[in-house]
Amino acid sequence: MEEEQLPPQVSVLIASFNNAGPLRRCLASLEQSNERNKFEILVIDNASRDESPHLDSEFPNATFLRLPRYFGLVKAVNIGMRTAKGDFFFFLAPEAEVFPDTVPALAAQLGAHDAAAAVCPLLVNPQGQPASQFFQLPAPGTVCSLARRGSWVEHGPEDLRAQTVPVLLPSLAALMVRSYFLKGLRYIDERYGQSWADAEIATQIRRASKKILLCPEIRAVLHPGEERGIRMEPSVEALFSADWALAAATYAGKHYGFAAGLKVRFSSVFHALGQAVWALLRLRDVGYHFSRFGYLLSGQKLDGTQKAL
């Protein structure tokens, strides 16, 4: 009789878009992991137009989920989570490269700490220096500025000598979360498009009085952004930028009330209008700024309806 195959302990979830080179390196490092039989790899391809969808022939032990359109990060990882079978979900960016012990060591740490809902490795650059990974958790008075800024404010732990260090907002570039916790939330709120999923997960973990633990001795390499094979048009870049601000408004409305969300939305629209007028006066990046203003005004997040992607 054939031995019954046990479900995987970890489901590695990689959402990728036109990122074949880094994705190939990421998958190769995962395949060389210790205890490879204890985890599954799911690649959610967000309608890439490079060779990414064809990497399944190189990595037959990974499962590729090919989406017909670019649905944004949140919907992509939700699709992956609904397919995944592991007790732990390990979100991993295509630009990340794990060491042989990264995945099993993280799983062991998460299994050993009942108060933790998530753990993460220390991300380092190819030279071995800590990479940008930890940020300030949004507060009611900071969401508007974050929406205009278009990125997080870094806030890393000062002491990396302990075996585990509590952190508030780690990057989704490498984060392992208990699957039952995200299933209890019915996965990630799809009112977000491409952005702020990391803040949503971190906030929900904090509300549940659970912890996110950094394990400094467990590491992964985060390679700097590489030139994509297919360059995005300015209007598409504007859509990605507008999605960040709209996600900030969604976050504020959900966690601080309807009026807070409306304030972030109006603030973002008027700020974008001012940038568009200034771009017109300078005759620089006019198309980008007016596209961004239009997306913010209409509330068009990244959700799979855009034909340009």
Same-domain check for residues 134 and 53: yes
Give residue 174's pLDDT: 97
Same-domain check for residues 206 and 272: no
Same-domain check for residues 29 and 96: yes
pLDDT digits (tens, 9 = 90+) for 71-99: 999 999 999 999 999 999 999 999 999 99
Give residue 156's pLDDT: 85
- 250: burial class by Cβ within 10 Å (0-12, 13-18, 19+)? buried
Same-domain check for residues 288 and 169: no
| Averaged pLDDT for residues 244-249 | 97
Does 131 fall in a domain? yes
Give residue 161's pLDDT: 84
Same-domain check for residues 126 and 274: no
Domain count, the chain: 2
Does 5 fall in a domain? no
Same-domain check for residues 264 and 201: no
Same-domain check for residues 91 and 136: yes
Q: Which of 268, 271, 259 is nearest to 300 (CA)?
A: 268
Does 227 fall in a domain? no
Residue with the bigger pLDDT between 48 and 303: it is 48
Q: What token pair was written down for 208?
A: 């549940």
309/292 Cα distance (integer angstroms):
15
Does 228 fall in a domain? no
Range of the domain at 28: 10-222
Same-domain check for residues 180 and 217: yes
Q: Which of 191, 222, 253 is the last residue of a domain?
A: 222
Q: What percent of the chain has pLDDT over 70?
A: 95
| Averaged pLDDT for residues 215-229 | 82
Give residue 309's pLDDT: 66
Give residue 229's pLDDT: 47
Residue 2 has pLDDT above 70, yes or no: no
Same-domain check for residues 192 and 292: no
Does 160 fall in a domain? yes
Residue 105 has pLDDT above 50, yes or no: yes
Does 2 fall in a domain? no
Give residue 49's pLDDT: 87
4 pLDDT band, cuts 50/70/90, is low
CA atoms within 13 A on the CB side of 239: 20
Q: What token pair was written down for 171?
A: 């990057």
* Angle between helices 234-256 and 286-298 in degrees, nearest 10: 30
Q: What is the CA angle 277-279-284, rounded to 5?
A: 155
Same-domain check for residues 115 and 19: yes
231 pLDDT band, cuts 50/70/90, is low
Q: If you count them, how many residues does the chain have? A: 309
CATH number of residue 29's parent domain: 3.90.550.10
Residue 241 has pLDDT above 90, yes or no: yes
Does 109 fall in a domain? yes
Q: Which of 222, 242, 260 is the last residue of a domain?
A: 222
pLDDT digits (tens, 9 = 90+) for 191-217: 999 999 999 999 999 999 999 999 999
Same-domain check for residues 135 and 201: yes
Q: How far, in Å, are 141, 191, 250, 266 from residue 259 at the CA level?
A: 13, 17, 11, 10
Same-domain check for residues 68 and 216: yes
Residue with the bigger pLDDT between 225 and 99: it is 99
167 pLDDT band, cuts 50/70/90, is very high
Q: What are phi and psi of 45, to 5 degrees?
A: -90, 120
Q: DSSP letter for 116, please.
A: E
* pTM score above 0.85: yes
pLDDT digits (tens, 9 = 90+) for 37-62: 999 999 999 989 889 888 999 999 99
How many CB atoms sit inside 10 A of residue 163's CB? Answer: 11
Does 175 fall in a domain? yes
